[in-house]
Amino acid sequence: MFPTDSVSLASIPTSFLVGIGLIIITIAAIYQLVLYPFYLSPLRALPGPALGPNLLIGRFGDILNGEAGIPQREWVKNHGKAIRVVGPIGIQRVIFSGAESLQRILVTNWISNPRPGFMRDTLGLVAGYGLLTVTGDRHKQMRKAMNPAFSISNLTAQTDMYYDAIDNLLSILNTRVEKAQGGQGSVEIMYEWMSKVTLDIICLTGLGYEADSLRNPHNELAQAYEELISLQTGRNLAQLIVILSIPGMSAFLGSRFAWRRRKLLAKIPLLSRAAILVDAMHRIKAVSASILREKMKEAEHLGNNEDTAAKKDIMSLLVQARMADLKSHKSVGGGMGPAPYTMSDTEMMDQVLTFLGAGHETTASGLAWTLWLLAQDPVSQQRLRDEITPFLEASSDGLRKVRLGYRELKDLVWLDCVIQESLRLYPPVPMTFRQAATTDHVDGVVIPKGTLYYIPIRVVNTLKDIWGEDAEEFNPLRWLPENNFRQVPSTLTFLAGPHACIGKTMAIIEMKAVIAALIANFEFSPSYQGQKAIPTAAVTMKPKDGMPLLVNKVVK
Ligand code: HEM
């Protein structure tokens, strides 16, 4: 008898199979960590920081442990405006910081350089599947439908909606400062207050909903957002990043199936933070859905009468636009012909959730950093107070009321200089990513399909060849009209191109309204000697310590 050729798998010793498996994994690891990045990648000719010391994580450790955008700034200083950074697990990122390369990636070829899938999945999970998650024609269609909500006329009408929340903030801070012992002022964790005031404003302007998180910390939406924010620090964030990088995980976590099993998920150590995320998002969606239902009912019963049309919050505008589109379609063609693009209920809700997510913490961070910079620079702070003083209104509660409208906020020169400079130096979104969907040539470099671009917002905002030797310092004077920087489209704070921030003007006007009111009433200074700013390395660059500042009342 001869042995047969077909040997059954079961007859092969397990140790042999394990050995083969280990050899395959080792070869794959050597290819991914050494062969490809060192010897084969077309990107290997690009300069950049050395690949080591630990090949498995590459430079990822510097990024995680450093301040947002700062390791990258050092690499750009040392290696130039087109560099390669490797890690973790051999993943290559390319950082272009020259104007022409960024123009090509973000503007000219924006469709073939979308946000990477992992970013869209994560954003969709935590901020709804709105503008932040789509690209190409779908994006153009959505953006067109959303633009009217961000028009100057609507922003002008909305400015008045900021002041209830701002007045609440003033009165709370005033009470706390007056109660502070010894009349020495009160140390306040300013990021927390900024987060509450911006949440109240965006809930009102986005949903027409009074969250009043400043006075009512138990409000459902406020609590759910607070839980979401708590996930973005230290170990919580690290755990979430690991979980969300598992393929299919964000879709799973966004499902009803996962929500029903959230208590079970909470018991699994690696999924405990994800369970908090699932629960918080479900509650936020439930509140938004019920607000949308109310608005739809109201619009159907009342039609576009004055009451409904007077509502300027974004969700009401979307409901009104949908009713108007459907009505005109029926009256023009009797309902025949192609239906106009109208958003479904889910799409409308996703958009508004996106605005709540994208517009809340970013603006809060921008405000906290502005207060920090003013606390360091009493001269600029006083100059701002002097600029606002002529607009103060008489008030009986000991506060200095200031209710500036859109036009006035836009025209106050020093206020604008301060806000522009703060957003340049501490951009609330310090970086973002894009991914090459096709092989491309950028700045003479062949970029293979799939390459990740790190878009270095904070780096570009502080390049010395654009901003001068004091590029890394706070100098609002550079924005005065007699200086020329206004003509240079050189900050990337709100990005550029078709995906540039739709809420830019809204955010700037809102920041101006809050800062003007605060500076008119209070003096801000560091809370202890030698205090340093500690920005996190997270996607939204927040102060790690919540930004404690000493707050005193302005002496009249
Ligand atoms: C200081 C405050 C803000 C900053 C620094 C900021 C920054 C940014 C940046 C950098 C992007 C581009 C992200 C990317 O493509 O990867 C972006 C996009 C976006 N932002 Fe903002 N943002 C702010 C406030 C707001 C506000 C108030 C809203 C809305 C109410 C908003 C809504 C959006 C939306 C919807 C997008 C996606 C735009 C698109 O892809 O078409 N943002 N923002």
Does the bond joining 88 to the residue before it have cis omega, within 30 degrees of 0? yes
Q: How remote is the CA of residue 417 from the centroid of ligand 1, in Å?
A: 21
Segment 232-247 mean pLDDT? 75
Name the binding residues.
501
Question: Angle 75-81-84 (CA atoms, 0-180°, nearest 5)?
Answer: 60
**How many Å apart are CA 183 and CA 482, to the nearest integer?**
42
Instruction: Tell which atom from ligand 1 comes closest to the C-alpha of 115.
Output: 16
What are the CB-based long-range contacts (under 8 Å, 24+) for 341-347? 341/141, 341/145, 343/142, 343/145, 343/318, 345/289, 345/292, 345/296, 347/130, 347/142
> What is the phi-psi region of residue 40: left when phi exceeds 0, alpha when psi lies from -120 to 50, beta otherwise?
alpha
Question: Which one of 204, 355, 362 would you pick to mutate in the ligand 1 pocket, going by the greatest count of ligand atoms within 8 A of its CB?
Answer: 362
433 C-beta neighbours (distance < 10 Å), count: 16
Segment 6-11 mean pLDDT? 66
CATH topology of domain 122-327+341-553: Cytochrome p450 (1.10.630)
pLDDT at 463: 94
HSE of 178, CA atoms in CB hemisphere, 13 A:
10
Residue nearest to atom 37 of ligand 1 (CA): 132
- Taken in order 317, 318, 321, 327, the sign of the CA dihedral is negative
Of 136, 91, 137, the residue nearest 448 (C-alpha): 91
Q: How remote is the CA of residue 15 from the centroid of ligand 1, in Å?
A: 54
Question: Which one of 317, 501, 511 would you pick to mutate in the ligand 1 pocket, going by the greatest count of ligand atoms within 8 A of its CB?
Answer: 501
Q: How remote is the CA of residue 497 from the centroid of ligand 1, in Å?
A: 12
Instruction: Tell which wins on pLDDT, 118 or 263.
Output: 263
pLDDT at 485: 62
Global confidence as pTM: 0.91
Instruction: Tell which atom from ligand 1 comes closest to the C-alpha of 206.
Output: 30
Residue nearest to atom 7 of ligand 1 (CA): 494
pLDDT at 517: 96
Name the binding residues for heme.
501
Which residues line the pocket of ligand 1, CB cutoff 6 A? 115, 131-132, 143, 354-355, 358-359, 362-363, 366, 427-429, 432, 493-495, 499, 501-503, 506-507
Segment 507-521 mean pLDDT? 97
What letter does residue 555 receive in the DSSP assignment? P
pLDDT at 456: 96
pLDDT at 71: 93
Q: How remote is the CA of residue 543 from the centroid of ligand 1, in Å?
A: 19
Question: Which of 113-117, 256-260, 480-484 comes out lowest in average pLDDT?
Answer: 480-484
Instruction: Tell which atom from ligand 1 comes closest to the C-alpha of 511.
Output: 1
**How many Å apart are CA 524 and CA 526, to the nearest integer?**
7
Q: Residue 96 is inside which H or E element, if any?
A: strand 92-96
Residue nearest to atom 6 of ligand 1 (CA): 494
Percent of all residues in the chain with a pLDDT value above 70, rounded to a whole number: 91
Give the residue extent of every domain in the chain.
122-327+341-553
Q: How remote is the CA of residue 173 from the centroid of ligand 1, in Å?
A: 29
Q: Which two tokens stand for residue 538?
A: 């997270």
Of 460, 403, 399, 406, the residue nearest 431 (C-alpha): 460
